[in-house]
Amino acid sequence: MDRSLSQLSKLACCEPGEVSAFWPWSVTRGEEGELRFGNFSASDLLSQFGSPLYVLDEDDFFGRATVWVSAMAESFWEGYGMSGATVSYATKAFASGYAIKLALDAGLSLDTATAGELGLALRAGAVGAQLGLHGNNKSDAELELAISHDVAHIYVDSLEEVERLSHVSARLGKRANVMVRVTTGVHAGGHDFIATAHEDQKFGLSLASGQAEQAARSAAANEHLNFLGLHCHIGSQILSPSAFLESALRLLKLRSVLLESGVEVPELNFGGGYGVRYLPSDPLPLSPAEFAPRLAQTIREYCLSRQESVPHVLIEPGRSIVGPAGVTLYQVGSIKEVPLEDGTTRTYVSVDGGMSDNLRPALYGASYTALLANRVSREPLRLSRVVGKHCESGDIVVRDVALPADLQRGDILAVPVTGAYGSSMASNYNLVPRPAVVGVGAGQVRLHIRRESEEDLWARDLLVSEK
Ligand code: LLP
């Protein structure tokens, strides 16, 4: 349902000197009315790096990462009955060499899901001990890459994979470090496509059917494998702690069953999925400082009551670290008043990107907001829809937003909270080049990923690339 203009106008923020906490840390409105990222105005960034542009606030990213690391370290210390915790950044949310370096500097490990993500992490300086590999269909080459680099955690996703891991390990003369991904049956998360722990979907091994236990036993009994523990990931964009805690208890119960029969389970990984605010009016998400002690208390109470050791705990946040740290800048192109059935009109504002740089609105119906970034306008606000340049009517960037009536071609719009699953799910639909990613931080700007050129797009086409 459309939201009213008065509701929407509350979302439009920012007089000179004022910016809400909803935006990344380095964002301010300069005296001249332009949105600034640290020392750089939106228009400077676009003239230097092209439009559209993903801007990653590196200080914000680093800050969010260290907040998770310290919250988990405070709640899960090492020694005196506790075995510590690891925060592993889900690189699928956003990966660039510099972002990976920042994540490592902040004390994060890295969660990868393909040879592409794993290879990038290794090239950016990560070592096996800092890495995990997921995937419901890992190739032999992916397993080999992980095992040969002594990746700390390989997450088994099927019974068949236990055997394959064993063969590859034996061939390489190594012992693969293995966790079993468990489908705990807890349904959580925003859109159905991003809920991952209910029965009847492709990830993991089900708890209810006994397959998860079977895989754990077979991995633990295998001389070529080093069985470390159990993993679950219940979905994404989850805002309340209860589903995480319920899933944690289910994993702990399976651990108890294994411990009782003499199988050691030193580690548990509870995955990612911590939600963020996409609109300033969204409820505040779970903070690490709130969540980590609750998770620790649940685990400690359970283990103490059963006189079990407390496992080493891992989590894998992606979106909650990088999502709010990213903003996409677009340039406004055509503006149209489209008559509606009720006699009113809707302003359609077309920008120079769209579903190729942010698939989330088309894929999940995800909501975003947008802000005029290159100046402040005193004109009245109009109910507007920001759309992309692709050949689909579902190519929507922001469904409903209040934008000034004097918005014109060439203006810049800033769309916040696009740091996660924006660049990483970008495509070349309509042969549109993917935008650059720049990082701003510590008073500097640096190019993380250069903008694609049309030549890049054509390079793989054998008829035209050889001309
Ligand atoms: N761990 C595992 C095993 C995962 O599969 C995922 C996300 C994460 C961690 C990180 O989840 P996060 O903390 O970022 O929510 N493309 C979707 C989300 C799909 C996420 C898939 N797995 C989106 O744009 O919302």
| Spatial distance between the Cα atoms of 320 and 414, rounded to a whole number of angstroms | 20
Distance 237 CA to ligand 1 centre (A): 8
Nearest CA to ligand 1 atom 5: 233
196 CA to middle of ligand 1, Å? 9
φ, ψ of residue 361 to 5 degrees: the values are -60, -40
Q: Which of 13, 14, 303, 391 is catalytic?
A: 391
Atom of ligand 1 nearest to the CA of 363: 24
The answer, yes or no, to whether any atom of ligand 1 lies below 6 A from the CB of 274, is: yes
89 CA to centre of ligand 1 in angstroms: 10
Residue 249: φ, ψ to 5°: -65, -40
Distance 370 CA to ligand 1 centre (A): 24
d(CA 256, CA 37): 50
Buried (b) or exposed (e) across 362-386, using 16+ Cβ within 10 A?
A: bebebbbbbbbbbeebeeebbbbbb
303 carries an active-site annotation: no
Measured CA distances, 133 to 118, 149, 172, 353 (Å)? 7, 11, 17, 32
Could you give the CA distance from residue 64 to residue 46 in angstroms, rounded to a whole number?
Answer: 26
Query: Is the Cβ atom of 194 under 6 angstroms away from ligand 1?
Result: yes
pLDDT for residue 200: 77
Give 15 Cα–ligand 1 centroid separation in angstroms. 35
Q: Which atom of ligand 1 is nearest to the CA of 317?
A: 13
Cα–Cα distance for residue pair 451/437, rounded to 1 Å: 7
Tens place of pLDDT per residue across the chain (467 aa): 345 555 554 444 444 444 567 899 999 999 899 999 999 999 999 999 999 999 999 999 999 999 999 999 999 999 999 999 999 999 999 999 999 999 999 999 999 999 999 999 999 999 999 999 999 999 999 999 999 999 999 999 999 999 999 999 999 999 999 999 999 999 776 556 555 556 678 999 999 999 999 999 999 999 999 999 999 999 999 999 999 999 999 999 999 999 999 999 999 999 999 999 999 999 999 999 999 999 999 999 999 999 999 999 999 999 999 999 999 999 999 999 999 999 999 999 999 999 999 999 999 999 999 999 999 999 999 999 999 999 999 999 999 999 999 999 999 999 999 999 999 999 999 999 999 999 999 999 999 999 999 999 999 999 998 76
How confident is the model at residue 196, as a pLDDT?
A: 59
Q: Whose alpha carbon is nearest atom 24 of ligand 1?
A: 421
Would you say the CB of residue 85 lies under 6 angstroms from ligand 1?
no
Task: Give the pLDDT confidence score for residue 42 in this predicted structure.
Answer: 98
Three-state secondary structure along the chain?
A: CCCCHHHHHCCCCCCCCCCCCCCCCCEEECCCCCEEECCEEHHHHHHHHCCCEEEEEHHHHHHHHHHHHHHHHHHCCEECCEECEEEEEECCCCCCHHHHHHHHHCCCEEEECCHHHHHHHHHCCCCHHHEEECCCCCCHHHHHHHHHCCCCEEEECCHHHHHHHHHHHHHHCCCEEEEEEEECCCCCCCCHHHECCCCCCCCCEECCCCHHHHHHHHHHHCCCEEEEEEECCCECCECCHHHHHHHHHHHHHHHHHHHHCCCCCCEEECCCCECCCCCCCCCCCCCHHHHHHHHHHHHHHHHHHCCCCCCEEEECCCHHHHCCCEEEEEEEEEEEEEECCCCCEEEEEEECCCCCCCCHHHHHCCCCCCEECCCCCCCCEEEEEEECCCCCCCCEEEEEEEEECCCCCCCEEEEECCCCCCHHHCCCHHHCCCCEEEEEECCEEEEEECCCCHHHHHCCCHHHHCC
Q: What is the pLDDT of residues 403-454, one digit of tens each?
A: 999 999 999 999 999 999 999 999 999 999 999 999 999 999 999 999 999 9
| pLDDT of the residue at 17 | 45
Pocket test for ligand 1, best of 316, 355, 367 (most atoms within 8 A of CB): 316
| Cβ 382 vs Cβ 402: under 8 Å | yes
Query: In whole numbers, what is the pLDDT of the chain averaged over residues?
Result: 94
Predicted pLDDT of residue 188: 73
